[in-house]
Amino acid sequence: MAVVIVVGVQWGDEGKGKIVDLLTEKARLVVRWAGGANAGHTLVVDGKKYVTRLIPSGVLREGVTCVLGEGMVIDPAVLVDEIRTFKAQGFIAAGRDLVVAERAHLTLPHHLEIDRLREERPGGIGTTKKGIGPSYESKAARVGVRVGDLLRPDRFRARVEALTTALAPYIRELGGSAPSVAEVTKKYLALGEELRPFVGDASRIVHDAVVRRDNVLFEGAQGVMLDIDHGTYPFVTSSSTTAGGACAGLGIGPTKIDRVLGVAKGYATRVGAGPFPTELNEEVGELLRKRGNEFGSVTGRPRRCGWMDVAAVRLAIRLSGIEAIALTKLDVMAGLDRVRLCVGYRLGGKTLDEMPVDLDDLAAAEPIFEELPGWPELAGSSIPPAAAGFVERVSALTGIPVWATSWGAGRLQTIVTQDPFSAS
């Protein structure tokens, strides 16, 4: 297998968890490099549903070590809760089933409070309210508190004090009150003790696995369109969701990566505010939302649904160097008479092959649609001809192969047409 990065190419919720779970059959390590408890991966195995927040999707596979990398922001309360839940179900049994980077930053009550207060005011972008943006702000401001600090009580107290000094005036300005240093210290040091067995040098552990030629899978969170630098700013998350982000976030050199794969949904969804030119506000959108269960796995918010934006996917493919994609949720689209693909944009007399990310350009641009015949439900294991036509069209328009199609949430409801590790 080698060292593979998997990223979502839309606005998150492409079904990465399922695809990563499938790929982890051959992996030794599954690694996350950015984001935090804003992610929610839903996995269905033997009819049982599991949701992960911080822990990578490899958690259900025996012999797989899950790694939470340095570039993440980790809410210890969420992580401890997640560990307890998975342990109770028989997962995370061995000491090295989970590694939490000591240099990853923490999401503390201050960050949750700021995110919540800001979202309650006009001008919020519709975040998940998991404290993600404020955690990265503290990190960049050099007042952040890290996982390793949790294991050193004196240092932790001092760091929390400094963080509180820095943020209290701002929290008050927003109409809230800063958390008590004593309470935070007490509660989080106890959580830290539960995390202690898992804390380590994630970057070095992954590096050593790569040197041993173990199969390593990097699992992206969110999607490329939510990237802080390359997405539709400011309607983005606060981290690098592109494949390159994996190298920076985990501390691994680009020369060590063998393959980059993408996951796209056959249609598109977005949660939170921000431009979404292919959005469907009528019946079809409602149908996709219902059939696709398009409600946030973290927040429960209804996801906005629309046609697949190939022009956006092209942009994501370029930004992440994606070599092949998996197309998910084709079962959800079954039964539609006709389906559409946005193949480009018209703006100021020009035709664009990539979605423009500037908000004004995007508002002025007109999507160009192509219509294709719909398909019936999957019967057996052969793809209905119209669906095969859709898949071929996506591949032709993006210029890369589609190595798998997904027809339901279950581990077995996937048709792999090409070995993703050799697809190019």
Residues 257/284, Cβ–Cβ less than 8 Å: no
Q: What is the residue whose two structure tokens read 């063998």?
A: 258
3-state secondary structure of 404: strand
Which residue minimizes CB distance to ligand IMP?
272
> Segment contacting ligand IMP (CB under 6 A): 75-83, 154-162, 232-240, 244-252?
232-240
> Segment contacting ligand IMP (CB under 6 A): 37-45, 194-202, 330-338, 401-409?
37-45
- Sequence-distant (≥ 6) Cβ neighbours of residue 142 within 8 angstroms: none
- Return d(Cα 190, Cα 188) in angstroms, integer: 5
Annotated active-site residue 13? The verdict is yes
The binder of 136, among ligand IMP, Mg ion, none, by C-beta within 5 to 8 A per type, is: none
Strand positions, DSSP E, 281-375? 304-309, 324-328, 338-347, 350-352, 366-373
Could you tell me which of 11, 2, 3, 15 has the C-alpha nearest to residue 263? 15
- Sequence-distant (≥ 6) Cβ neighbours of residue 98 within 8 angstroms: 55, 59, 65, 66, 67, 68, 83, 92, 198
- Return d(Cα 295, Cα 314) in angstroms, integer: 26
CB of 297 to Mg ion, least distance (A): 5
CB of 424 to ligand IMP, least distance (A): 28
CB of 238 to ligand IMP, least distance (A): 6
Q: Which residues bind Mg ion (CB under 5 A)?
A: 13, 40
Out of 133, 148, 192, 251, the residue judged to bind ligand IMP by CB under 6 A:
133
CB of 394 to Mg ion, least distance (A): 22
> Binding pattern to ligand IMP, positions 90-129, x when CB under 6 A?
-----------------------------------xxxx-
3-state secondary structure of 101: strand
Q: 41, 105, 110, 111: which is the annotated catalytic residue? A: 41
Q: What is the residue whose two structure tokens read 């052969």?
A: 382
Q: Which is nearer to Mg ion, 13 or 309 (CB)?
A: 13
Q: Which is nearer to ligand IMP, 13 or 331 (CB)?
A: 13
- Sequence-distant (≥ 6) Cβ neighbours of residue 293 within 8 angstroms: none
Q: Which is nearer to Mg ion, 13 or 331 (CB)?
A: 13
- Return d(Cα 37, Cα 240) in angstroms, integer: 15
> Segment contacting ligand IMP (CB under 6 A): 34-42, 187-195, 307-315, 358-366?
34-42
Could you tell me which of 71, 220, 53 has the C-alpha nearest to residue 144? 71
Where in 233-272 is the site for ligand IMP (CB under 6 A)? 235, 237-238, 271-272
The binder of 362, among ligand IMP, Mg ion, none, by C-beta within 5 to 8 A per type, is: none
> What does the block give as tokens for 7?
């990223």
- Return d(Cα 159, Cα 26) in angstroms, integer: 41
Q: Which is nearer to Mg ion, 298 or 352 (CB)?
A: 298
Per CB under 6 A, 328 contacts ligand IMP: no
Q: Which is nearer to ligand IMP, 86 or 136 (CB)?
A: 136
Where in 189-228 is the site for ligand IMP (CB under 6 A)? 221-222, 226
The binder of 222, among ligand IMP, Mg ion, none, by C-beta within 5 to 8 A per type, is: ligand IMP
DSSP state, 180?
P
The binder of 130, among Mg ion, ligand IMP, none, by C-beta within 5 to 8 A per type, is: ligand IMP
The binder of 238, among Mg ion, ligand IMP, none, by C-beta within 5 to 8 A per type, is: ligand IMP
- Determine whether 207 is exposed, middle or buried from the number of CB atoms within 10 Å of its CB (0-12, 13-18, 19+): middle
> Segment contacting ligand IMP (CB under 6 A): 6-14, 47-55, 179-187, 276-284?
6-14
Annotated active-site residue 309? The verdict is no
- Sequence-distant (≥ 6) Cβ neighbours of residue 396 within 8 angstroms: none
Beta bridge partners of 152: none
> Binding pattern to ligand IMP, positions 270-299, x when CB under 6 A?
-xx---------------------------
Q: Return the sign of the alpha-carbon dihedral for residues 371, 225, 398, 336.
A: negative
CB of 210 to ligand IMP, least distance (A): 27
Give the residue numbers marked as catalytic. 13, 41
Summarize as ranges the residues that interact with ligand IMP (CB under 6 A): 11-13, 38-40, 125-128, 130, 132-133, 221-222, 226, 235, 237-238, 271-272
